[in-house]
Structure 1
Amino acid sequence: MTFPALNVFTPNALSGGFDGRDEDASVHDQVYEALATLLIQGQIPPGKSVSLRTLASGLGVSPMPVREAVRRLIAQKALELQPSNKRLRVPSLSEDRLKQLMMARQWVEPELAFRAVAAMTRDTIAELKADDQRLMAALTKGDVDGYMQANHAFHFRIYRLAQADLFLDMAKTLWLQSGPFMRVVFGRLGTVQLPQDHHQELIRAFESGDAAAVRQHMSDDVHEGMELMLEALKR
């Protein structure tokens, strides 16, 4: 298994015999962020078993930092270890758990967007517009992977501005648990049937500094995407 669509880091950047403790921590963090991004963007599908060795090979690193990253992801309920064969997989998602994820996302993410208004700059707005253009181009081409990557970039570009580390970590955990299923649903529906997002409204609200509108548009955006997943799960 390889992950050519992901450019979080290059294998060469992680090899070379790190000796210091700080460098070791940096490698472990990079591997964790790479695996987290793979999950958020749905590149590790639900129900598919995968080994530590496969993940390490796909990322071009040794198994040791992957083992530590996997421990963190299991604690976040983004991965689970199967007792029968000691392989990893994305946990199944029940309707009740999906509803809980929806409620949690609709509280955390609008709050992050609301807090980001004060720190929003013209340069960041330009970057958000570029993210949204990539997203729309992916929709036009029927590129679900491209859509997932651009949507993730758009949202977390906003959330990182909020200067609320606790809420940001919560948002990352929620996306870790919902991302793989989002990718499956969107892949089955195709980009033509995806709901209209609220990114343009969000950008206009950021440009005008309307924090209340930002909060509402983000809530609507999260709700529509999660509702689509809920309907697919029920079917």
Structure 2
Amino acid sequence: MGYPGLNQFPLAMDDETSIHDQVYEALAESLIQGQIPPGKSVSLRTLANELNVSPMPVREAVRRLIAQKALELQPSNKRLRVPSLSENRLLQLMTARQWVEPELAFLGAQKITRDVIVELKNDDERLMAALSKGDVDGYMKANYAFHFRLYNLAEADLFLDMARTLWLQSGPFMRVVFGRLGTVQLPQDHHQELIRALESGDHAAVRQHMAEDVHEGMELMLEALKG
């Protein structure tokens, strides 16, 4: 079974970034955007074929993703899969995201510029347009861009790595939420309130709105898991 979504992440073979890093980023982005469904097995060769590379850089990328608990190796057949998500694990992810992401937003808010605010507004417009069309891929890309555009301003590499790892683990399950609820049933996010807080320089409100945004998104995942 192939994963056509992987071809959305073309590799630049002549780029200064190593092919190993490019393969890792392509697989990581595909997980964050839910292109590899939870519980579905996939082989190294399938991933290599989708990315049009040899198995060697894929093997190295997979090792990193296994260490980040975004993938697991099945002992019975040596194939890979996204780990299943228990309620206990989801609650841990929720707690961790609610701790680290509001802090990243708070730190990023202190370095915000008008140009970045414009880019955040554009991200949110793309997100809302995708929701109105039922475009799951477009929504997930725009939502990730919105969050990490702000987080990247924080200059807090440890927190940023933690947030990215948490998104790697939770991204595939957001796709499950869409499958069960559809895009039209999603509650209003807190992006608009967050943007207004950024414009007014209210850093504490930025932190609060991000905490609410993360909490409500994870609650949806919990409902979908229980359902």
Tell me, yes or no, whether TM beats 0.5: yes
After superposition, where does 1:76-115 map in structure 2 within 5 Å?
Answer: 76-115=68-107
Q: Deviations over 1:114-159 (max 9, x none)?
A: 0001211111111111110100000110111111111011111111
Tell whether 2:149 aligns with 1:157: yes
Q: CA deviation at 1:27?
A: 1.6
Q: How far apart, in 1, do the equivalents of 2:220 and 2:48 lie?
A: 33
Corresponding residue number in structure 1 for 2:183: 191
Gaps of 5+ in 1: none
Corresponding residue number in structure 2 for 1:170: 162
After superposition, where does 1:38-117 map in structure 2 within 5 Å?
Answer: 38-117=30-109
Corresponding residue number in structure 2 for 1:205: 197
Deviates more, 1:183-192 or 1:156-165: 183-192
Deviates more, 1:39-48 or 1:180-189: 180-189
For the Cα contact (< 8 Å) 1:108–1:167, is it kept in 2? yes
Question: For the aligned residues, what is the CA RMSD?
Answer: 1.5
Q: How far apart, in 2, do the equivalents of 1:121 and 1:169 lie?
A: 23
% identical equivalent positions = 80
Q: How far apart, in 2, do the equivalents of 1:5 and 1:177 lie?
A: 17
Corresponding residue number in structure 2 for 1:3: 4
Q: Deviations over 1:22-69 (max 9, x none)?
A: x5x722111111111100010000011101111111112221111100
Query: What is the TM-score normalised by the length of structure 1?
Result: 0.92
- Counterpart of 1:176, as a letter, is L
Residue in structure 2 matching 1:29, options 10, 17, 21: 21
SS at match of 1:197: coil
- Counterpart of 2:139, as a letter, is Y
SS at match of 2:110: helix
Deviates more, 1:27-36 or 1:171-180: 27-36
Question: Number of paired residues?
Answer: 226
For the Cα contact (< 8 Å) 1:2–1:57, is it kept in 2? no
Q: Deviations over 1:160-201 (max 9, x none)?
A: 110000000000010011100111112221110012100001
Q: How far apart, in 2, do the equivalents of 1:69 and 1:5 lie?
A: 14
Q: CA deviation at 1:209?
A: 1.1
Change (3 A) 1:74 1:2: same
For the Cα contact (< 8 Å) 1:3–1:59, is it kept in 2? no
Residue in structure 2 matching 1:120, options 112, 126, 135: 112
For the Cα contact (< 8 Å) 1:52–1:67, is it kept in 2? yes
Q: How far apart, in 2, do the equivalents of 1:188 and 1:134 lie?
A: 22
Deviates more, 1:25-34 or 1:181-190: 25-34
Query: What is the TM-score normalised by the length of structure 2?
Result: 0.95
Q: How far apart, in 2, do the equivalents of 1:133 and 1:63 lie?
A: 39
